[in-house]
Amino acid sequence: MNRSHLSRLAGLVAAVIGASIAITAIVPASAVTSNESRVQLRVPAPGHSVSWEVTSPADTHARRIVLSLADSSGAALQGADSLRFILRDSHGITFFNGGTVEQLRAERFDLGEFSAGEELRVEARAVLPETAGNEYRTAQASLAFRVDAEQNEQGGILAFTGLDVSGMLALALSFIVGAILLLLVGRRRNIEKEGEHNAAS
């Protein structure tokens, strides 16, 4: 393999490396983290309710949060007079009102964008209907809510690694410039060889 071919090959390799680094640094990347908030409920008297909070700690990045019911068990969740649930966000807006655990389990609640440093706080309430019989007096209920947080990070995958994105872009640019120079050198050598060949003929 002559020098012009080697220059071309090296230029193509450098171009691919530079483009890969640039794409990794520029294209926004997303990462999803999940955690569960579990509660063991003490069933209230008929016509009364018990409340608690579903929380997720603040993050250093903005994120979109989706809430769902991951797991549930207990006799208080069964039957015609089983517990009914109410969910309210931190602004007092009710987004689930009086449904059964089956209805709750079927939902995925998109709670929207949370800014960096903003904590998730959802008020949850379980109500036992007034018509509930004595069989619910000693019944129990266990619930596990799942919180999925998706972060869309400008700076691509590199931003999640903590690397200097601007520095990596400069490195990508140097690879691309080097690739262009190598390709020009290879083309120049080809032109010189063609000139020598024409002169000899």
- pLDDT tens digit sequence for 110-137: 999 998 889 999 999 999 999 999 889 8
201 located within any domain:
no
- 8 Å CB contact between 8 and 182: yes
**Considering the entire predicted model, what is its pTM?**
0.63
Same-domain check for residues 144 and 49? yes
Residues 39 and 122 in one domain: yes
Overall number of domains in the chain: 2
70, 127: one domain: yes
Residue with tokens 């983290």, as numbered in its chain: 33
180, 104: one domain: no
With cut-offs at 50, 70 and 90, classify the pLDDT of residue 34. confident
- Exposed/middle/buried for residue 3 (C-beta within 10 Å: 0-12, 13-18, 19+): exposed
Residue with tokens 């006799």: 75
Domain annotation covers residue 46: yes
Is the same domain home to 178 and 120?
Answer: no
d(CA 191, CA 20): 30
Q: Does residue 189 register a pLDDT over 90?
A: no
pLDDT reading at 56 higher than 90: no
Are residues 99 and 146 located together in one domain of the fold? yes
Write the CA distances from 147 to 35, 64, 108, integer angstroms.
Answer: 5, 10, 10
What is the predicted pLDDT for the residue at 122?
96
Asked if the structure places residue 13 within a domain, the reply is: yes
Domain extent, residue 19, equals 3-27+157-195
